Structure 1
Amino acid sequence: MREPTRHEPTRHELRIDGRLRAFTAVGADEGPEGRALVIAFHGSTQTGAGFRDFTGRALDRLAAEGRAVVLYPDGWRGHWNDDRRENWFAARRVGIDEVAFFHALVAHAAERYRTGPVHVVGYSNGGEMVLTLLHRVPEALAGAVVISATQPVPENWLSEQGGTSPRPSPVVVVHGTADPVVPYHGGPMPWYARWLFRVSGAALSAPQTAEYLARRNGIDAAPDEAEVPSRRGMVQPARRARQRPAVSRIRYGAGPGEVVLYRVEGGGHTVPGSPPAPAILGATADVPALQDVVGALIEGAHAE
């Protein structure tokens, strides 16, 4: 492994359809050519820089090792115009073109950092943005990670569902069974989440989401399941008792188009491996660590 080197984050702006869109970048300008580009989409009401801190700057380690350049873009007024039909964010009301922003980020990174394969990571609203990109521009993606987000049902989705992806790429889905915002077992969001985040509509369960993505990647075989060893156990918010988590890895297929679901028993609306989230979001597990999940995708892409 390369010797880690710390890089200070830099702020940038791009003009998209007459609007300035901002992002935080982590990575050396003169790093190895062909490094992976990792674009991390934050959750509702967050910013790119805020999501970087929320995850404990886990993805920065990939940049420090010279394996990737990481971009943390800002949504429009704290949200992404993902393809959920019942989406009432300001980004939807003014018609923000997130796919154009994505393409601009990729072009910027290719010119400035000479990056190669593109991987996307998204949490909550950002996870829905990743699902949107998997449907809208699958040919542009080498890998994807969806955290605390599930695939909306067809009547709550603007992109066409079904069929086979023109470019199957590996996808990792991470979801806690006690998620208080996006139910693990699917259906509508709780009323308080609909009111707070201004989004509605029903969605598939996390297992159904993984199965759906596997079918899109041409995988029909039954998955295999294995327990993931924990490092320390479930990290609960302050003043709450620890409990031992059971994290399972459910793998559909193998190779470039595989889909993996990490089921975090008792996990909340959180990013495993990150610092404990606010108590209202539930418990945070220590595995799978985000940098390990994305790092494995990067190594797979470079091995092709």
Structure 2
Amino acid sequence: MALMVVLTACGRGRADPEPTPPPAATHGYTLTVDGRERHYRAYTPAGATAGRPVVVFLHGGGGNGELFERVSHMNTVADEGGFVVVYPDGSGRLGDRLLTWNAGDCCAYAKDRNIDDVAFVRALIDDVTTRFGTGEVFVTGFSNGAMMTYRLGCELADRIAGIAVVSGAMNLDTCTPSRPLPVLVMHGTADTAVPYDGGPSSSEFPTAGTWTNRSVRYAVDFWTEHNGCGPVPAETRDGEVTTRTYTCAEPVTVHTIDGGGHGWPGGEKARANAVEEAPPRPDASRVVWDFFAASG
């Protein structure tokens, strides 16, 4: 209900005009975590943000938050869904270029320096919640950012409401989530950077070091067991996309893109020299948000 103010000087009462909702905007913010300056961008749709859900989007290795804000088109989905999108930056030796996440056995600078990216995301959630008065926090990521998303699901299940991983592997020796989590997995069968069936990455990332990826099946088996899922999923097919949905304490959904390469589906090519085109379908940003919205 609007607050009514009586203006006696005018001899009659009137309602104060409603405040103009803030416009949609992206702003940059800085945190200091473990003595290291860390950065993130936050996109807020038009209107008040109090109580809105948050999607934390972790960029791929070699990218940064600004790049994946552009190529993912997630802001367009945020406008429609009314949620805040946060684009953190990983770390690297070249300022805001060639940034990575310490996702276990990958990748590059973040792994080599043992950067505590779990602590960074924990502090980020605190900062975003205080700054915007937001609601539930979900995490999604691509490639190395997807690997980091798995790690956050293992170590920050008490702080996040669900995870969605796109073209990433669960390359962790241990995973002990404090509770079941909604999990969405999206991966192309022709991905050579992070192969669907596991194995070493291609030479697309020559400075990222070497590691062996675990298969999509490995991650799905872990989360379906952890979430207490039934053994047989419901399966649907739409063109090249097969969707398997498990009945669990918290949902596990797997989108397999037949012939899909290493890219954010429905988005743009992250780098001009990227070896593989992003699959045109499905629209990953919409699929991810629809999954989070249904799970929240």
TM-superposed deviation, 1:73? 0.5
Q: Which residue, out of 283, 286, 296, partners 1:289?
A: 283
Identify the residue that residue 168 of structure 1 maps to in structure 2.
180
**SS at 1:268 equivalent:** coil
88 and 289 in structure 1: CA distance in 2 versus 1, 3 angstrom threshold:
closer
C-alpha distance in 1, partners of 2:154/2:185? 15
Matches within 5 A, 1:179-194: 179-190=191-202, 192-193=203-204
Q: Do 1:36 and 1:69's aligned partners in 2 also have CA atoms closer than 8 Å?
A: yes
TM-score (norm 2): 0.83
Deviations 1:269-298 (A, max 9, x none): 011111255574324333321332232233
Q: Which residue, out of 211, 215, 218, partners 1:205?
A: 215
Identify the residue that residue 101 of structure 2 maps to in structure 1.
80
Q: Which residue, out of 106, 111, 129, partners 1:92?
A: 111
C-alpha distance in 2, partners of 1:32/1:23? 17
Matches within 5 A, 1:1-304: 7-27=24-44, 31-55=48-72, 58-65=73-80, 67-77=82-92, 78-84=99-105, 87=106, 89-152=108-171, 157-158=172-173, 160-161=174-175, 165-190=177-202, 192-193=203-204, 195-200=206-211, 202-228=212-238, 246-253=240-247, 257-276=250-269, 278=272, 280-302=274-296
**SS at 2:206 equivalent:** helix
Deviations 1:187-222 (A, max 9, x none): 2223x246342241x333223322222112121421
Percent sequence identity over matched residues? 30
Letter in 1 for 2:244: I
C-alpha distance in 1, partners of 2:278/2:241? 11
How many residue pairs align between the two structures?
A: 269
Question: Which stretch shows the higher mean deviation, 58-67 or 15-24?
Answer: 58-67
**SS at 2:168 equivalent:** coil
TM-superposed deviation, 1:51? 1.2
Letter in 2 for 1:253: T
C-alpha distance in 2, partners of 1:14/1:204? 33
Highest RCO, 1 vs 2 (Cα 8 Å, sep ≥ 6): 1
Q: Do 2:137 and 2:161's aligned partners in 1 also have CA atoms closer than 8 Å?
A: yes
Letter in 2 for 1:274: G
C-alpha distance in 2, partners of 1:214/1:6? 41
Letter in 2 for 1:282: E
**Structure with larger Rg:** 2
Q: Do 2:180 and 2:250's aligned partners in 1 also have CA atoms closer than 8 Å?
A: yes
TM-score (norm 1): 0.81
Identify the residue that residue 240 of structure 1 maps to in structure 2.
none
Q: Which runs of 5+ in 2 are unaligned?
A: 1-21, 93-98
279 and 290 in structure 1: CA distance in 2 versus 1, 3 angstrom threshold:
same
TM-superposed deviation, 1:66? 5.9
CA RMSD of aligned residues (A): 2.4
Q: Do 1:62 and 1:69's aligned partners in 2 also have CA atoms closer than 8 Å?
A: no
Q: Do 2:103 and 2:147's aligned partners in 1 also have CA atoms closer than 8 Å?
A: yes
264 and 279 in structure 1: CA distance in 2 versus 1, 3 angstrom threshold:
farther
Structure 1 consecutive aligned stretches of length 4 or more whose deviation exceeds 4 Å: 276-280
